[in-house]
Amino acid sequence: MDLEFNKNEDLNKQQLFQLKKKLEKVKLGGGQKRIDAQHEKGKLTARERIDYLRDKGTEFLEVGAFAGEGMYEEVGGCPSGGVVTGIGYVSGKQCMIVANDATVKAGAWFPITAKKNLRAQEIAMENRLPIIYLVDSAGVFLPMQNEIFPDKEHFGRQFRNNAKMSAMGIIQVAAIMGSCVAGGAYLPIMSDEAMIVDKTGSIFLAGSYLVKAAIGEDVDNETLGGATTHCEISGVTDNKYANDQECLDAIRKIFDKIGAFEKAGFDRKEAKLPAKKIEEIYGVFPADRAKPYDIREVIDRLVDNSEFDEYKALYGKSIVCGTARIDGWAVGIIANQRKIVKSKKGEMQMGGVIYSDSADKAARFIMNCNQRKIPLVFIQDVSGFMVGSRAEHGGIIKDGAKMVNAMANSVVPKFTLVIGNSFGAGNYAMCGKAYDPRLIYAWPSAQMAVMSGASAAKTLLQIRVATLKAQGKVITPEEEAQLLQEITQKYEEELSPYYAAARLWVDGIIDPAETRKVISMGIEAADHAPITERFNVGVIQT
């Protein structure tokens, strides 16, 4: 291995170490003391419930592990958004699992909690996945009720989704394993089956204190809405269980008897590991994000047997397109090329920039994959579209629009991986979050913003200096340098993949070696949802 490889490997593994440390902290939820308090009540934690429920030896693809990261610090934070969500296997059935984390503010709903729950439901709806709710929540976090209660994508949307999923025939099973109060009480009861844990589970529209204040009635919470009340008197819940484990066992029995559903029919053959070692990704992916590299070196370490059938290899070279298999699944890959290449006219093209010919190629490739029912994988390391008079005269807007149109109207499932830059309109064309990828994950090396940190900082500095001068203030070179440093630092924080993951702009940050797992489990989930729409690129023709 050469010196450059070793340098790249060192930095990428440092970033991976930081990722693992952050994940360890996130998985503690509200902290060890609150975990101990949960155990003292005879309850498992959210993550323990999921581990007990899912099939042993199977993978779990967590969604939104870093939701809320660095947010709500003024009230003590909200690790993982106070809820654990992900795709797992229960009695051999792939499903979405949503578990409130009662160690985080008693499982109260913050704005990011609602966003994360809705994302979990969206994944279930798009992929026709059964969904399991493990409920243990104190309800809306009242100090932020104005940010979570009344709007379209707020708390109430989940109940609308409950109803829609029921109509779609998507199985929903809920287990009340702790508090379930106020509006949140509708979620388990709008599910197909609602079970409750005796003595620790409770469900009511208003707790005993509020009942006393509202109507003057003295009643304890267990009598008001405990397991005995709802299983023997009201009939709100279906069955009660002695403890968490017994309740989770009952869910496994339900899923053991679920029948098979129609599949989309995506092609899968026996999986093969890449011929080139997966762990070599750390060395071939550059530590210096401005340094050119050949994206094929990354692709070869992700696809089965390192076999990649490239489409129009000699044309539109700033985007690489081709078909391959990942864990046996047939995929169509669209990836930004960071290597400096020559265009068909012999002109040198900058790496990571989308040119007219590459946009046109990508649009045609997307159309082909839709025709052949091949899921799409977008690998982002993009600086944006080419600018300047030559690009404008060559019709970059028209060709860029072709690509966006084909991608947006694609009916086969799309998966997005952000491995490097994700800037400007390049984020959109390469299937950013706004374009409904079934899953979107980032590597620790990812950056996401309107433009690069250096470009943005210089632009913002010019605006700030001009404003100060207009106010009659004189700024020295030293003050200007200090201002640039402050602006750059703030912008760099916002470029971080953790900033994006905290706000659910991506579904998570992964070890590059986990990429195959993400894509494979994603396509397996998508295969539950038959394609019923016809691909149509709309008004823009190619």
Question: What pLDDT shows up at residue 474?
Answer: 77
Question: What pLDDT shows up at residue 527?
Answer: 98
Question: What pLDDT shows up at residue 345?
Answer: 66
Residue with token string 């581990």: 51
Question: What pLDDT shows up at residue 348?
Answer: 65
Pick the most confident of 4-8, 176-180, 285-289, 516-520: 516-520
What's phi and psi for 181, nearest 5 deg? -125, 165
Q: CA 188 from chain center: how many Å? A: 24
The band of 538, judged by pLDDT with boundaries at 50, 70 and 90, is low
Question: What pLDDT shows up at residue 346?
Answer: 64
Q: Is residue 536 pLDDT above 90, yes or no?
A: no
The band of 53, judged by pLDDT with boundaries at 50, 70 and 90, is very high
Query: In one letter, which amino acid is 172?
Result: Q
User: Which has the higher per-residue pLDDT, 148 or 268?
Assistant: 268
User: Which has the higher per-residue pLDDT, 460 or 155?
Assistant: 155
| Mean residue pLDDT across the chain | 91
Closest among 425, 241, 426 to 335, alpha carbons compared: 426
Question: What pLDDT shows up at residue 173?
Answer: 97
User: Which has the higher per-residue pLDDT, 401 or 523?
Assistant: 523
Distance from first CA to last CA of the chain, Å, rounded?
44
User: Which has the higher per-residue pLDDT, 119 or 459?
Assistant: 119
Closest among 321, 518, 379, 496 to 438, alpha carbons compared: 518
**Nearest 10 degrees: Cα torsion 272, 276, 280, 283:** -140
Question: What pLDDT shows up at residue 461?
Answer: 75
Percent composition of the chain: helix, strand, coil (DSSP 3-state, to 5): 45, 20, 35
Question: What pLDDT shows up at residue 273?
Answer: 97
The band of 389, judged by pLDDT with boundaries at 50, 70 and 90, is confident
- List alpha helices for 229-375, DSSP H: 244-256, 281-284, 295-299, 356-372
The band of 391, judged by pLDDT with boundaries at 50, 70 and 90, is low
What are the tens digits of pLDDT across the range 253-309? Answer: 999 999 988 999 999 999 999 999 999 999 999 988 778 999 999 999 999 999 999
**CA–CA distances in Å: residue 366 to residues 217, 322, 338, 432:** 64, 10, 21, 15
The band of 339, judged by pLDDT with boundaries at 50, 70 and 90, is confident
Q: Is residue 100 pLDDT above 90, yes or no?
A: yes
268 Cβ neighbours under 8 A, 6+ residues apart:
328, 329, 330
- List alpha helices for 41-170, DSSP H: 46-53, 111-127, 157-168
The band of 349, judged by pLDDT with boundaries at 50, 70 and 90, is low
Q: Is residue 119 pLDDT above 90, yes or no?
A: yes
Q: Is residue 203 pLDDT above 60, yes or no?
A: yes
Instruction: Let me know: does 251 contact 195? Beta carbons within 8 Å.
Output: yes
**CA–CA distances in Å: residue 150 to residues 8, 153, 248:** 48, 8, 33
User: Which has the higher per-residue pLDDT, 319 or 225?
Assistant: 319
Mean pLDDT of the region 448-474: 76
What's phi and psi for 286, nearest 5 deg? -70, 140
Q: Is residue 393 pLDDT above 70, yes or no?
A: no
Closest among 41, 80, 33, 52 to 202, alpha carbons compared: 41
Pick the most confident of 103-112, 287-296, 390-399, 531-540: 103-112
Buried b (16+ CB within 10 A) or exposed e, 347-369: eebebbbbbbbbbbbbbbbbbeb
Mean pLDDT of the region 374-397: 82
The band of 312, judged by pLDDT with boundaries at 50, 70 and 90, is very high
Q: Is residue 445 pLDDT above 90, yes or no?
A: yes
Q: Is residue 370 pLDDT above 60, yes or no?
A: yes
Tokens of 23: 């994940």
**Of 137-141, 426-430, 524-528, which range is least confident?**
137-141
Percent of the residues in the chain that have a pLDDT greater than 70, as a whole number: 94
Question: What pLDDT shows up at residue 89?
Answer: 98
Q: Is residue 48 pLDDT above 90, yes or no?
A: yes
The band of 479, judged by pLDDT with boundaries at 50, 70 and 90, is confident
Closest among 244, 282, 206 to 6, alpha carbons compared: 282
**Of 14-23, 110-119, 467-476, 524-533, which range is least confident?**
467-476
